[in-house]
Structure 1
Amino acid sequence: MTDPGFTLRAMRPEDWPDIVEMQAQPRYRWGTLQTPFRSPDAIRKQLEAIPPDEVQIVAVVEGRAVGRAQLQPGKGRRAHAGYIIMGVHDDFHGRGIGSALMAALIDSADNWLDLKRLELGVWTDNEPAIAIYKKFGFEIEGRERAYAYRDGEYVDGYVMARLRGL
């Protein structure tokens, strides 16, 4: 097997400066609900408040976190489901990081948490992300019209899900 040039590991508290830098990247932010100029301290506090049952993975290149993925398990009657959030630093697109992060989240969901439904949201114009999600068995379940305001206009989002054993 060839070296992909990155490793995956659990996110650590000391990764917060790299996460702040990632979230400040224009393409990264474009794919999220984040707004520009968020306070680094606010992002650090948000990361510190992540519940311990969430799966938090980073992709690391030369000691620097350049990709992040999280799996938020459901509670109560939604304990069979999980919500996925992912992003890759603008300078590291096209290296297989998104696919590796998704594969790791799915492994956690299927083989460790026994989740039957994985969900995510994505902008309808984010074709690279949609392609990764479809590659891993996610299907579009619905369209949310004028879901959010981005770059001076309202944009639509897709609700996508992957079902296992249902």
Structure 2
Amino acid sequence: MAKRFDFTSVYEDETWTVVFDDNEGIQDRFYEIVKDEINKSQFPGLEVSIEEYITGGIFFNKESTKMLCVKAQDSTFEQFEIYYRAQVFGNVVIFTRMECMERGFFSILAGKSGNELKAALRLKCKNMAQYEEFIAIDSLADIVFRCALQRVDPEYRERKVLNLKIA
């Protein structure tokens, strides 16, 4: 059964759009690259899964989509999740990385969203090692996303430099 994705848990996201001549199998290739890069990092306690998630409403605007999820296990940061998605629209593919904080029952009742959940989780850090673990997982998510983009988009570096010059 598909899991539900909670948009209010997102505290940071990044997208990259590419137009391909042939995007056959690009979604699976992207997920395999992300999975391989996470595993190559040998970061302890990270679980990687590719599953179907339900987004949108309960009855209306409901969508089922495949995403890759990275989650810390046996850690202070078990609520921290990183989602990767490749969505195809014809020859256009949008790649997305979303960093989320899973909401518990009381967070839902209090109406807390991603940034508030992130701040609360950072308060759980009792020492420098815990803080650095959080920063390392967060940074690894960014590194892996950019590495995967470089491997699926042959013009990634050139376009990235061009975007920096424009901004």
Under a length normalisation based on structure 1, what TM-score does the superposition of the two structures give?
A: 0.31
Structure (1/2) with the larger helix percentage: 2
Pair member with larger Rg: 2
Higher relative contact order (CA 8 A, sep 6+): 2
Structure (1/2) with the larger strand percentage: 1
